[in-house]
Amino acid sequence: MATPYSVKLFSGSQSKYLAEKISYYYGKSLGSVTLQKFSDGELSPSFDESVRGCDVFLIQSTFPPADNMMELLLMVDAARRASAKYVTIVIPYFGYARQDRKDKPRVSIAAKLVANLFSASGADRLMTCDLHAGQIQGFFDFPVDHLDGSAIFVPYLRSLNLDNLLFASPDVGGVSRARAFARHFQADIVVCDKHRKRANEIASMQVIGDVEGANVVLVDDLIDTGGTICKAAEIILEKGAKSVRAICTHPIMSNKSYENIENSVLQELVVSDTIPLKQHTSKIKVLTVAELFSKAIRNVHDHESISSLFINLNH
C-alpha cells in the first residue's frame, strides 16, 4: 500500500545524467537544486522547492573527487533541516569501498568512516549497487538496499547466445561473484591468481582451470586502470580460449585505462552507467541501471520487497 507522503527525486551535480534517466523511468521530474560554490571551492547546495513531509531520494555516485561525497552529505543535511520525512541516499557507485578492512598496519577503514559520515548527516537509508564487498552493508546503522548488477548483465549475456560459456574471476577475491554467474548459466569457472608488487601494479598472474575452446566472461565489480582485466584476458587467450570479454559494473577508468582496453585482446568490456565514461571506445558497451533503480525507489516508497528485482543467481 502506498505511503501518504509524496516522493521527490533530486540529483547531485555529477550524477544528473543518470538521475534524469532514473526519473524518466520513474515517471516523475527531478526536483530543482541549486549548487553554489564559493570562490575557494566550498559547496553550498539548496533545494528550490519544499521537501517538508516528503520521501526524498538524493541521487549521486561518490566517485572522485571527494567533492561529490561532500555535496551529497550537505544535501542530506539540507533535506533534514527542511523537514523531509524520510531521506534515502541513492549512491549507484559507493566510493572508498575498496578500503573495507585493515590489510596492513596503520591504515584507515575508509568504507566504515564514510558510513559514519552519512549516518551523522541524517540519512535514513542507502540504495546502492554491487558494493566492492557485501559486508560493507554492516557498516551502516540504517537499512541498505544492495542492488545486483546481474539484473542488467544476465539478459545481455543471454542475448549473445555464446556456446561453451565459461566464467572467470580476475582475482581470488571475486570468486563468489563469478561463481554466481556460472551457477545461473550452468557453466564452470576459472580463477586468475594475481600477485601485486603495489596498488595498480601486477607482478605475476596465473590461470587456475581449463579454458581451452571456451568463450570466457571475466566478472568484476569495478575496473580502474584495466591492468588486471587486460592481463587476465591475455593469459586466458594464450591458454586456448575462443574469446574473452569482461563485465565490470563500475567503470572508474583512470590513467591509461581506455588505451589499455582498446589495445587489449578483449572482445568487449561491458559496464554500467553508475559512473560516466570520460571517453567512448569501440570495445566498451554501456548498459544502464536507471530502470533498475527507478523500480527499487518505487518499491521502497510503496513498502514492497525489492528482491523481485534480482535475478536469482543461485539457480
Q: Is 205 exposed, middle or buried (0-12, 13-18, 19+ CB in 10 A)?
A: middle
Cβ–Cβ contacts within 10 Å for residue 231, how many? 18
16-26 vs 290-301: helix axis angle to the nearest 10?
Answer: 60
Specify which residues 129 forms β-bridges with. 147
Specify which residues 73 forms β-bridges with. none
Buried b (16+ CB within 10 A) or exposed e, 164-202: ebbbbbbbeebbebbbbbbebbebbbbbbebeeeeeeeb
Cell numbers given for 253: 577508468
Q: How far apart are CA 121 and CA 83, in angstroms?
A: 14
Of 8, 28, 85, 194, the active-site residue reads 194
Greatest alpha-carbon span in the chain: 61
Which of these, 22, 27, 26, lies nearest to 11 by C-alpha position? 22
Q: Which residues contact 227 (CB under 8 A, 6 or more apart)?
A: 200, 201, 202, 260
DSSP-derived 3-state class of residue 107: coil
Q: Is 21 part of the annotated catalytic residue set?
A: no
Pairing state of beta strands 201-208 and 125-129? unpaired
DSSP-derived 3-state class of residue 220: strand
The edge-to-edge listing of strands for the beta sheet with 215-223 is 201-208, 188-198, 165-169, 215-223, 243-251, 269-272, 284-287
- Residues with catalytic function: 194
